[in-house]
Amino acid sequence: MTTIVVAMGEKNEIGFENQLLWHLPKDLKHFKDITSGHPVIMGRKTYESIGKPLPNRTNIVVSRKNDWFEEGILIVGSIKEAIKFAKKIDEEIFIIGGGNIYEQTMDIADRLEVTLVKADLTADTFFPEIDQKTWKKTNEVCHEKDEKNTYDFCFQTFEKVKSE
Ligand SMILES: NC(=O)c1ccc[n+]([C@@H]2O[C@H](COP(=O)([O-])OP(=O)(O)OC[C@H]3O[C@@H](n4cnc5c(N)ncnc54)[C@H](OP(=O)(O)O)[C@@H]3O)[C@@H](O)[C@H]2O)c1
């Protein structure tokens, strides 16, 4: 199973100036819970935004640069190669962004784990449209904002509709 994980606002916004748009500890915990123990694939810009390897996960970073090296991550030159390495490690693999990588992997993903943040914020990076003909929402759990999580948000699961 190949799962895309994303947190997005009401206009599909996901980032601005290579940073996330919010600080939601409950979403960070959710991300950690679903991805820990499995390989994660990300674009070079998302890796640089995080700044260090995510622990307890094989971090596979996609880049076209051939002179870039970082300790503790696997750097590959294409998404195909990233998927190939990840599948060798585990059946459950996760694609964790950013916008550029999401655009190129919606077709190959089986599932989307979306955190829909009830916010409308300035952004320069967006998640692709979730086409309702292709994706069916199979689960939704919503949380109200509190003193640490400053927006209402919902965890949503989408499964790709199987073509007959
Ligand atoms: N809200 C969320 O859930 C979430 C999740 C992740 C990221 N983000 C946000 O998204 C933004 C970053 O997204 P982004 O779209 O700017 O960048 P990105 O997708 O993280 O990374 C793009 C980079 O990946 C490499 N790349 C992309 N396609 C490739 C391919 N087919 N083959 C080889 N390398 C490839 C290139 O690296 P090189 O330039 O090195 O060649 C490219 O510049 C940040 O604001 C971040 O905070 C949000």
The enclosing domain of 50 has a CATH number of 3.40.430.10
pLDDT at site 87: 98
Chain CA centroid to CA 71, Å: 22
Q: How many domains does the chain have?
A: 1
The band of 164, judged by pLDDT with boundaries at 50, 70 and 90, is low
Is residue 27 over pLDDT 90?
yes
Query: Which tens digit of pLDDT belongs to each residue from 80-126?
Result: 999 999 999 999 999 999 999 999 999 999 999 999 999 999 999 99
* Ligand 1 mean position, distance from CA 98 (Å): 4
* Ligand 1 mean position, distance from CA 48 (Å): 9
Contacts of 104 (CB under 8 A, 6+ apart): 79
Task: Please give the number of the atom of ligand 1 that sits closest to the Cα of 47.
Answer: 20
Query: Which tens digit of pLDDT belongs to each residue from 115-133?
Result: 999 999 999 999 999 999 9
Task: Please give the number of the atom of ligand 1 that sits closest to the Cα of 46.
Answer: 20
* Ligand 1 mean position, distance from CA 146 (Å): 31
Q: For residues 64-83, give the mean pLDDT.
A: 96
Domain range holding 106?
2-160
154 within ligand 1 shell (Cβ under 6 A)? no
The band of 162, judged by pLDDT with boundaries at 50, 70 and 90, is confident
Q: For residues 145-163, give the mean pLDDT.
A: 94
- Cα torsion 84, 87, 88, 89: sign: positive
Is residue 72 over pLDDT 70?
yes
d(CA 72, CA 2): 23
